[in-house]
Amino acid sequence: MSRISGGQIDRSKTLRFQFDGVSYNGHPGDTLASALLANNVRLMGRSFKYHRPRGVMAAGSEEPNAIVELRSGARQEPNTRATVVEVFDGLQAQSQNRWPSLKFDAMAINDRLSPFFAAGFYYKTFMWPAAFWEKIYEPIIRRAAGLGSLSKQDDPDAYDKGFLHCDLLIIGAGPAGLSAALTAGRAGARVILADEDFRMGGRLNAETLEVGGAAGADWAAQSVLELASLPNVRLMTRTTVIGAFDHGIYSAVERVSDHLAQPLPGKPRQILWRIYTKRAILAAGAIERPIAFENNDRPGIMLAGALRAYANRWGVAVGESVAVFTNNDDGLRTVADLKAKGLNVTLIDARQGDEVIDSAGRLGLKSITIRRSNGRTETVAVQALGVSGGWNPNLNIASNHRGRPVWDDQIAAFIPAPESIAGLSCVGAAAGAFSTHAALTMGATHAVAALADLGLTAHADAPTAEDAPLNLTPAWYVHSGKGRAWVDPQNDVTVKDVKLAKQEGFISVEHLKRYTTLGMATDQGKTGNVLGLAVMAELTGKSIPETGTTIYRPPYTPVAMGALGGRARGEDFKPTRQTPSHKWATEQGAIFVEVGYWLRTQWLPRKGETTWRQSVDREVLQTRRSAGICDVTTLGKIDIQGTDAGLFLDRVYANNFASLAVGKVRYGLMLREDGMVMDDGTTARMGQNEYVMTTTTANAVPVFRHLEYCRQVLWPDLDVQLISTTEAWAQYSVAGPNARKLLQKLVDQDISDAAFPYMACGNITVQGTRARLFRISFSGELAYEIAVPTRYGDAMIRALVEAGREFDAVVYGTEALGVMRVEKGHVAGNELNGQSSALNMGLGKMVSKKKDSIGMVLSQRIGMTAPDGYRLVGVKPVDPAQSLTAGAHFLAKGAEAVAANDGGWLTSVVYSPHLGHSIGLGYLKSGDSRKGERLRSVNLLAGTDVEVEIVSPHFFDPEGERLRG
Amino acid sequence: MIINHPLLGPRDAQEFIYLGDAALIHRPDGMAEGALERFIPYTYLRDNPAGSHRELWYHEQGDRSWLVVTRNTTTHEITAVEMARDVARKEGRSK
């Protein structure tokens, strides 16, 4: 037997879908679970550890057993719950965690070996020999355990992130949520009503109860229609609120396209919403819990409310003969509803002393064994058993801020602690009020209260509905037999495992959880946690609240990584910043390198060059021989103005700036307060109270932040204004003996050495366009940096290249730049590593002690000034044919390659085409007094061991004659 | 989290950079006698209260204001947000 009358499915349309390669029919409104049950398929998966045959247990997102893989190819998606997957035409689903097939699973041998796989078996079984873990045990366990599999292809679909604002967010659209939404929506408040289901109404869709004299499901549909007509209400179906964050921020995942074969054009698969709320109402209902008994995990054994839901909402009877095992009156509703559908129902009421003590049926339930209160046992043939051990308020979200739920004896369940999240109130079943009447009135009155907080007036007006009590007598597990009774079916945790945990001293709830893995599966123990606690409480003779409770972290249900990533993937993972010469460089076939968000030219190959070294060597040699042009726009630029600007620079730079004359540039060394070097650069005094600072590319943002900090927090009354102009100016370095001749062709002013000497700066014009010129050099050559407004950057690079043609000038990239700076012994990123002081870098004398500057005091403390500290040195191989390896460590000849003998390391290594061999910079202990020494540079990772000589870091033109030329 | 910026109103904390204890306002004078003894605790020693904490935040994705935010470290409740410049002046900082 399968489909019965009624339900909210559209029988006029038939949908074809496949499960494990077999085709079935379903209807719009079906979930994969309901459609499979309607096709008499009860076996849907295998359990995690024992590979036990499993079927559906629930009818919602709390499902622990029916975990399936969807679709194929790049859209394959593991670990979805069949109970919330909507059937669509062409849906392909596969069972998981079985081999070779769902009905015959070789790994089911684990079930026979279960004595070896009790709680904690990992810790006990795989202890020795230790070497076996990585090579043998772990790979085997990984293959045997785990659930679905990944396609390992790129997800072809898009995921979005979105932001919403509202007065009132209502989580859950059952009777309580709908009532709250109607109350707040009619009052004109901005309301968002979110529900994870594709149809709003919650349990009303699964019940035969009446609301206001109409069928509950009809009242829900009517309410949704009214809400949809209100412009101030946003209805969000297929939207799971996954967590509560600070200050009224909630996160939700909307499954926009999961119910389709593939997203409609231009639509994302899912949207991750960040919802800013003034108030929120949790109306997430309750989740039924089982009663544990021997072999309670067979396909066909499910929660009583789920069995009822499949019959009422989906028109599915799981069997002609069914049974209900309950300890409360809600279970009796299942009996009544199923009887009304013409099924043959056996009742086992734990409150009468009756119990289910065992079940049979390997791949699906065939019979149950009942022990009546008089001690007689009987076996009844049934295809389905509904179990109800009561209902747990679905307080997951309310505990996200660590608010401990409190125990309510009336319903034998935890309810949310009041005020557990500021601005959130819980209503209806989520608050432990289980009747429909309570849900409707509570939803309305709490909406009125929430709106009153916001100064809005609303009226509570709830329709009439049943107000029956639950009449629950706690019954957690059946004390009989030696077999296993499942508590957490997804992680295969049984009553025995809880007993073992107790026996071994893992009594606290946090230990119980970690020792047995109770509640640690993808369902977070939504059905099993309280049951596990109850078993532990009984074993220890404590009450359940004394035993403890677990609280929940976001997300409420598993979230796809794609949704968390949104659009930030591939080349959109981060922004890309292009330099002003990017278009020109692309035309030239430049090779680019990522520097932070920037793409910079790394080198520019010419025809016939086959290796990067050929290009870089040429760029270096030609720059030193004639002229080279380099885009240096990425360096940070900060305009600093104000009557106290000079004083400000004296405070933020370690060296003196007060004496810098107008029209002059100076190298500046910036320390952190702990005395380490933060950044370096040049600062030009463009006018009496106007300076232009440059920073390294990497530190442009942190330095600006730091300067704002100094200006606002440390010295609030200094007259200093800052603005970042990194993107306002396109800046090019023109270096080499012919640099002046080249530039003079373009600029309108005289830039002869007399008119524009070394370290001069000024505002100039380039064919009438305003520009800034700085005579500074990083390469060691006669060099200038010229800045033009960014919109002229493309024209400027083309003009420079054109003007350079007669000199055979080259455009060089970051590699050649690096070679030339190492040849000159200038420190850069590799040396500015955050752990190095000015003294380490050979710049100790720059730190002025005559003025207070950031980092000055602590740069002088003991340890920072020790003579045996690291000092910057130049390094060259004794045999010029050998290459150095960056990162190699210095060892005395004959010393063993261990940390105790470490003398320092090579920070930067390049091939100097000028010298014809490899050169490097490094930090060496007492390095300043060790020139001429021969050491080994050893890199164990690269397998290199090279004899080196310690030399001055100034390999090229040590007197600096060229740059003054 | 949401920080109620004194000039711009409520802004998402994602727009801000966190620095730490607002005691950093009280930078010692580096030229004074005994400066080293004062700079070591200033740089390295911080209170770590479970409760109300005054801390510096920077509105990097906004107006570049440094703010002093009084935040309860156990609940994340924010009880005051002030311009750091105003706080620094009030607490005796000048040039």
- HSE-up (13 A, CA, CB side) for residue A98: 23
Question: DSSP string of A902-937?
Answer: --EEEEEEEEETTTTEEEEEEEEETGGG-TT-EEEE
pLDDT in tens, A363-412: 999 999 999 999 999 999 999 999 999 999 999 999 999 899 999 999 99
Mutation for testing the A interface, residue in B31, B63, B77 having most A CBs under 10 Å = B31
User: Does the bond joining A129 to the residue before it have cis omega, within 30 degrees of 0?
Assistant: yes
User: How much of chain A is helix, strand and coil, in % rounded to 5?
Assistant: 25, 30, 45
Q: What is the pLDDT of residue A948?
A: 98
Contact A85, A31 (CB under 8 A): yes
Q: B83 to chain A: which residues are within 8 Å by CB?
A: 712
Q: Do A709 and B36 touch (CB under 8 A)?
A: no
pLDDT in tens, A917-928: 999 999 999 999
Rounded Cα gap, residues A804 and A796, in angstroms:
12
Per-residue DSSP letter, A344: E
Q: A708 to chain B: which residues are within 8 Å by CB?
A: 58, 64, 66
Q: B27 to chain A: which residues are within 8 Å by CB?
A: 673, 714
- HSE-up (13 A, CA, CB side) for residue A855: 28
Q: Do B94 and A715 touch (CB under 8 A)?
A: yes
pLDDT level of residue A126 (50, 70, 90 thresholds): low
3-class secondary-structure state, position A243: strand
Res. A160: pLDDT tops 70: yes
Q: Do A714 and B88 touch (CB under 8 A)?
A: yes
Q: B29 to chain A: which residues are within 8 Å by CB?
A: 852
Interface of A with B in 757-786 (CB under 8 A): none
> What's chain A's average pLDDT?
95
Rounded Cα gap, residues A435 and A203, in angstroms:
11
Q: Who contacts A44 (Cβ-Cβ below 8 Å, separation ≥6)? A: A19, A33, A36, A54, A55, A56, A65, A66, A68, A82, A95, A102, A299
3-class secondary-structure state, position A837: strand
Domain count, chain B: 1
Q: Which residue has the tokens 């000055």?
A: A856
Let me know how long chain A is: 965
pLDDT level of residue A140 (50, 70, 90 thresholds): low
Nearest CB to B95; choose among A248, A712, A717: A717
Res. A429: pLDDT tops 60: yes
Homologous superfamily (CATH) of A867-965 is Aminomethyltransferase beta-barrel domains (2.40.30.110)
* CATH number, domain with residue B12: 3.30.2270.10
Comparing alpha-carbon positions, the chain B residue that sits nearest to A648 is B95
Here the tokens at position A217 are: 């499901």
Nearest CB to B43; choose among A422, A856, A858: A858
Q: B60 to chain A: which residues are within 8 Å by CB?
A: 701, 705
- Domain A159-286+393-453, what architecture? 3-Layer(bba) Sandwich (3.50)
Helix axes A814-824, A612-625, angle to 10 degrees: 60
pLDDT in tens, A141-158: 666 655 678 889 999 999
- Phi, psi angles (nearest 5°) of residue A453: -55, -30
- Phi, psi angles (nearest 5°) of residue A40: 65, 25
Q: Which residue has the tokens 């109607």?
A: A182
Nearest CB to B66; choose among A709, A715, A853: A709
Name the nearest CA neighbour of A526 among A888, A61, A138.
Answer: A61
Domain-located, residue B39: yes
Task: Report yes or no: B7 at the A interface, CB cutoff 8 Å.
Answer: no
Q: B78 to chain A: which residues are within 8 Å by CB?
A: 247
Task: Report yes or no: A568 at the B interface, CB cutoff 8 Å.
Answer: no
Nearest CB to A673; choose among B43, B66, B89: B43
Here the tokens at position A442 are: 């509570």
Task: Report yes or no: A939 at the B interface, CB cutoff 8 Å.
Answer: no
In angstroms and rounded to an integer, the radius of gyration of the C-alpha atoms of chain B is 14
pLDDT level of residue A130 (50, 70, 90 thresholds): low
Interface of A with B in 809-828 (CB under 8 A): none
Rounded Cα gap, residues A833 and A922, in angstroms:
12
The minimum CA-CA distance between A712 and chain B, rounded to whole Å, is 5
pLDDT in tens, A688-703: 999 999 999 999 999 9
Q: How much of chain A, in percent, has pLDDT values that exceed 90? A: 90
Q: B19 to chain A: which residues are within 8 Å by CB?
A: 709
- The CA–CA distances, whole Å, from A805 to A326, A553, A738, A760, A799 equal 92, 65, 11, 26, 10
Q: What is the pLDDT of residue A686?
A: 98
Interface of B with A in 61-90 (CB under 8 A): 64-66, 75-78, 83-86, 88-89
Here the tokens at position A831 are: 């040396």
User: How much of chain B is helix, strand and coil, in % rounded to 5?
Assistant: 25, 35, 40
3-class secondary-structure state, position A138: helix
Here the tokens at position A839 are: 């003294």
Interface of A with B in 840-859 (CB under 8 A): 851-853, 856-858
pLDDT in tens, B32-64: 999 999 999 999 999 999 999 999 999 999 999
Domain ranges of chain A: 159-286+393-453, 867-965
Task: Report yes or no: A697 at the B interface, CB cutoff 8 Å.
Answer: no
pLDDT level of residue B25 (50, 70, 90 thresholds): very high
Here the tokens at position A841 are: 């870098």
Task: Report yes or no: A561 at the B interface, CB cutoff 8 Å.
Answer: no
3-class secondary-structure state, position B63: coil
**Interface contacts (A, B; CB < 8 Å):** 86
Q: E strands of chain B, at which residues?
A: 2-5, 9-12, 17-21, 52-58, 66-72, 78-83
Res. A1: pLDDT tops 60: no
The minimum CA-CA distance between B78 and chain A, rounded to whole Å, is 9
- Phi, psi angles (nearest 5°) of residue A836: -120, 140
Q: What is the pLDDT of residue A104?
A: 83
Rounded Cα gap, residues A895 and A272, in angstroms:
58
- Phi, psi angles (nearest 5°) of residue B3: -110, 125
Nearest CB to A713; choose among B25, B36, B39: B25
Q: A717 to chain B: which residues are within 8 Å by CB?
A: 89, 93-95
The minimum CA-CA distance between A524 and chain B, rounded to whole Å, is 24
Q: A246 to chain B: which residues are within 8 Å by CB?
A: 1-2, 13, 76
Comparing alpha-carbon positions, the chain B residue that sits nearest to A247 is B1
Residue type, A228: A
pLDDT level of residue A527 (50, 70, 90 thresholds): very high
Q: Do B77 and A422 touch (CB under 8 A)?
A: yes
With left for phi above 0 and alpha for psi between -120 and 50, is residue A359 left, alpha or beta? Answer: beta
Q: What is the pTM of this model?
A: 0.92
Domain membership of residue B44 as a residue range? 2-90
From A109-118, A173-182, A185-194, the region with the lowest mean pLDDT: A109-118
The minimum CA-CA distance between A794 and chain B, rounded to whole Å, is 28
Q: Do B64 and A708 touch (CB under 8 A)?
A: yes
Is the interface score ipTM higher than 0.95? yes
The minimum CA-CA distance between A246 and chain B, rounded to whole Å, is 5
- The CA–CA distances, whole Å, from A111 to A115, A228, A479, A591, A790 equal 9, 51, 22, 59, 70
Q: Do A717 and B43 touch (CB under 8 A)?
A: no
Q: Do B76 and A247 touch (CB under 8 A)?
A: yes
pLDDT level of residue A98 (50, 70, 90 thresholds): confident
Comparing alpha-carbon positions, the chain B residue that sits nearest to A851 is B31
Comparing alpha-carbon positions, the chain A residue that sits nearest to B74 is A401
Res. A422: pLDDT tops 80: yes
- Phi, psi angles (nearest 5°) of residue A70: -115, 150
Q: What is the mean pLDDT of residues A89-105?
A: 87
Helix axes A509-516, A529-540, angle to 10 degrees: 120
Q: Do B64 and A248 touch (CB under 8 A)?
A: no
Rounded Cα gap, residues A822 and A840, in angstroms:
16
pLDDT in tens, A867-897: 999 999 999 999 999 999 999 999 999 999 9
Domain-located, residue B95: no
Q: Do B36 and A857 touch (CB under 8 A)?
A: yes
Nearest CB to A716; choose among B1, B17, B88: B88
Q: E strands of A495-633, at which residues?
A: 577-578, 591-595, 598-603, 628-631
Q: What is the pLDDT of residue A143?
A: 62
